Amino acid sequence: MNLSNKKSFSLIELIVSLFIISLISIYSIYFYKEVFFKNEQLFQDEKTKLELLNFKLFLEKSLNFDKLSYSKQNIYYDNSLLLKNVNKYALKSNNDYVSIDICLEKRVCQELVITK
């Protein structure tokens, strides 16, 4: 093999290596972007679930469901804002327990059951 063939082969190796490295880099960046957005979405969902848990704990302590009111996608307790961005709210009262079916930010829905 002469010197010009060696240079040509080395150049082809370099081009193929750069192509493979660029493909790996592009897919790695895409993967990290997807992981980042998924992580951000999970963080927001967990934060919303924590707000629902705080809401439930507050209601368990107060046990006064007559002061709850729902208007314009907000829940108020004694005319003070308690929860924002409520898309669904249904309160069912029984002798032993109160059931609240609630959805926040169109993503997190739960049924809260509070015993009296």
pLDDT digits (tens, 9 = 90+) for 36-45: 999 999 999 9
Q: Are 81 and 74 in contact (CB under 8 A)?
A: yes
Determine the structural domain holding residue 66 and report its residue range.
Answer: 3-115
**Is the full-model pTM beyond 0.85?**
no
Specify the number of domains making up the chain: 1
Which residue blocks in the chain are alpha helix, DSSP H?
3-62
What is the pLDDT at residue 67? 87
Q: Which candidate, 61, 55, 64, places its Cα nearest to that of 84?
A: 55
- Residue 85: CB atoms within 10 A of its CB come to 13
Per-residue pLDDT tens digits for 29-80: 999 999 999 999 999 999 999 999 999 999 888 878 888 899 899 999 988 9
Cα radius of gyration rounded to whole Å, the chain: 28
